[in-house]
A and B are shown apart, each in its own frame.
Chain A
C-alpha cells in the first residue's frame, strides 16, 4: 500500500471512531445542555480528543521503539497484525463490556475517553496502519543509527496519533454540534446503530490485511 493510502486510513479510522456515539460525542451534547452554552460542547469534545490521543500514542509508543529493529520489521508486522485480528475475534465472540468503565465519574472525560479507546481496541486498530507507514516511508534506513530510527519512529507515531485524533474530534464534534443545534436529542435513539459487529469486523480486517501484506 502507498503512504497516501495509509494516511487516508489514519484519517478514515479517526472519523469512524469520532462519529461512533459509543466513543463519547453524546456526552458533549449533554455538557452543552447542562452548561447552557456551546463552549461546553467544544470543551467536552476536546477532552474526549485528549484522552483518545493519549491512548493512541501510548499504544503506538512501544512500536516506535521496535522500529529500531529493522531486520525484525516483517515478523513484528505479522505478529501485530495477528494480534489485532485476534482481539477483533475476541470482541466478536465475547460481546462483553468492561464493567470498570462504568466506575469512572462522568466529569472525568479525558480519563474515560482514554480507557474506552484502550478497552475497545480503538487505539490498537492503528498499529498495523502505523507499521505499514514506517515501512513504506523508511527508505534507505539500513545504515542509520538506532537512536535516529527511534526518534524518527516516535515522530511518526505522534503524527499518526495526532492526525487520527484530529479526524476523530472533527467527526465527533460535527455529530455533537448537529444534534445540539439542529437535530435534537431524539436522533440519538433513532440513529445510534449497534456497531459492535462492524467494530469487531474492522479490527479483524485491519489485522488480517496487515499480517498478509507483511507476509507476502
Chain B
C-alpha cells in the first residue's frame, strides 16, 4: 500500500502514451526440452544506458518443465477507478504461469533492474483443488482481483471438464476459485480481455490439451476441431451472454485486443489459419446499440506457395506456407494493429483508425519457414515474429520468435533459439527493423512473451475515455 497511486497508473490511454518511455523489458525464457529451469530475463531497453540491449538480470526458477508462455501484472491502470477499491496497489509483481506444469510464480520486480526475485510460488495442486482447472495462461488484473484463463480442465490430460478462468487475490495471491457462474456453450479457452466500464469481457478458443501439448494434431485441424468461437460475458455477473461462431474453417481464434479507449465498443481477434486456403485473418468484433455482439473478417493474409522440399513434413502435402497469425497487438491510441505472421516470417502493421477497414501500412520480413530472412545484425533469427509488445508511446515494437515448444519443432525442425528484436515506428505509420537491436539469450532457451516496465499495450486496462 502506498500513499499516492503508483505513478505508472494512468487514468486513460492518452496519459499512458505521454508517460516516460520504458527502460526495462521482461522477457520469458523457456527450456524447450525441460533440461533447465525456465526463467525471466530483465532486458535493458533504455538507449541512454551503457547496458542497452543486454540482459541485465535473470530470475531462474527452482523447478524444471514449467514451460513459460504468457504472463501479466498484479495491478494496472484500472486501479484508478473507484469501482476497483484498490487505488493504492503497486504495479510490482509479475504473475508467471507455467503452461505445462500449472505452477504459478509471483515475481517481485521492485527495486531496480537487478532486484527481481521470486515472491511466492503457487503449486499446481492448489490450482487443481481450488479451481478444477489446469494449464494457466492469460493474466489480467481486474475487478475482484487477478483473472487467469486456463487451457485445461481437470484430470491428467486436462479434459475432465472444460477449461475456464479463475480469480486470484491481488494482495495475498491466494487462489480464490472459479470465475464462471454460467459458461453457456464455452468449452475451450485461450485469451480474454474486457471493457471495464462497459462491463463486458471477450474470450477466445485455442484447443484442448491433447490438441496442443504434444504438437499440433493435423487430423484435428483438417477436421476443424480447434476453437473458432468468441464468447462475450457480462463481466460482473460472470455470465456468458453471447457466443459468436467465426465459422468452423477459421481455426484457432487467439489474441483478443479490445480498443483501449473504453468509449469504443469494438476490438480485434486474430485467427491462425483458415483450413480452406491456409490464410490467416483479422476479425473485428463490436457491440451494437442493442447490446448484441458481432464479428466480421476485416483483413486476410494469404498463404505463400512453396516447393515441398523446402517445407517441414507437416506442410509438405500443402505446397504452401500458411502465415500463421499467432499474435496481434493494438497501439494505445487504437490506431495501429500489429500482426505476427509466424509461418511466413512477417510483421505487419495495419492502420485500424476505421476498425472495419484495416489498411496495411507497414511490413517487415524476418525469419520464416521458407523465406528465412536474416536479421541485419547478422545474428540468427530462426522461427518468425511471434509474441509482440508495443511501447506505450507507440514508437517501438518488440518481438520474440518462439510459439510453443512442441509446435516450434513441427514448423521449425531446425530449432528456434531465443531472439528478441525491435522495430521503430514512423510518425504516421511504417515500420523499420532496428539493425542493432538483437538480444543475446543464454544457450538452450527459447523466448516468449515480453512485458514492459510500467505497463504496455497488452496488459493495461483503462477506465476513463481518452478524449473529453
Q: Report A's interface with B, CB cutoff 8 A.
A: 21-27, 29-30, 33-34, 36, 95, 97-99, 101-107, 112, 116, 180, 185-186, 188-190, 192-194, 196
Contact = CB atoms under 8 A, between A and B. Distances in A.
Interface string B239-283: 000000000000000000000001100000000000000000000
6 closest pairs, A vs B, by CB? A102-B143, A185-B11, A97-B85, A33-B465, A102-B144, A194-B88
8 contacts: A30-B81, A33-B467, A34-B465, A97-B86, A103-B143, A190-B4, A194-B4, A194-B87
B98 to A, nearest CB: 27
B2 interface: yes
A118 B183 CA distance: 32
A105 B199 contact: yes
A189 B81 contact: no
Contact of A26 (B2, B82, B86, B467): B82
B156 interface: no
B112 interface: no
A200 B97 CA distance: 37
B5 A189 contact: yes
Given A185-B464, A186-B15, A192-B87, A99 B82 contact: no
Interface residues of B toward A: which range? 35 or more
A192 B3 CA distance: 8
A27 to B, nearest CB: 6
A192 B4 contact: yes
Contacts of B88: 194, 196
The winner among B11, B144, B464 for most chain A CB atoms within 10 A is B11
Nearest to B86: A97
Report whether over half of chain B's contact residues are helix, strand or loop; otherwise say mixed: loop
The winner among B2, B7, B81 for most chain A CB atoms within 10 A is B81
B236 A186 contact: no
Contacts of B199: 105-107
Given A192-B5, A194-B3, A22 B82 contact: yes
A26 B144 contact: no
Nearest to A191: B4
Given A27-B83, A30-B465, A104-B236, 5 more contacts: A22-B85, A97-B85, A101-B83, A102-B83, A192-B4
B326 interface: no
Interface in B1-17: 1-5, 7, 9-12, 15
A166 B464 CA distance: 26
B215 interface: no
Nearest to A26: B82
A112 B143 CA distance: 14
B197 A102 contact: no
Given A33-B464, A186-B15, A106 B197 contact: yes
Contacts of B87: 21-22, 192, 194
Contacts of B236: 102-105
Interface in B28-82: 80-82
A26 B80 contact: yes
A107 B83 CA distance: 11
Given A22-B85, A185-B12, A99 B464 contact: no
B146 to A, nearest CB: 12
Given A34-B197, A106-B196, A194 B143 contact: no
Contacts of A29: 464
B84 interface: yes
Contacts of A21: 82, 87
Nearest to B467: A33
Nearest to B7: A189
Interface in B197-234: 197-199, 234
B197 A95 contact: no
Contact of A185 (B1, B4, B15, B144): B15
Interface in B417-448: none
Nearest to B237: A105
Interface in B174-202: 196-199
A191 to B, nearest CB: 9
B145 interface: yes
A193 B144 contact: no
Contacts of B4: 189-190, 192-194
Contacts of B467: 33
Given A22-B87, A99-B144, A104-B236, A194 B81 contact: no
B416 interface: no
A34 B81 CA distance: 14
B85 A186 contact: no
B468 interface: yes
Contacts of B5: 188-189, 192
Contacts of A103: 143-144, 236
B135 to A, nearest CB: 25
B82 A189 contact: no
B463 interface: yes
Contacts of A185: 11-12, 15, 464
A119 to B, nearest CB: 9
B464 A112 contact: no
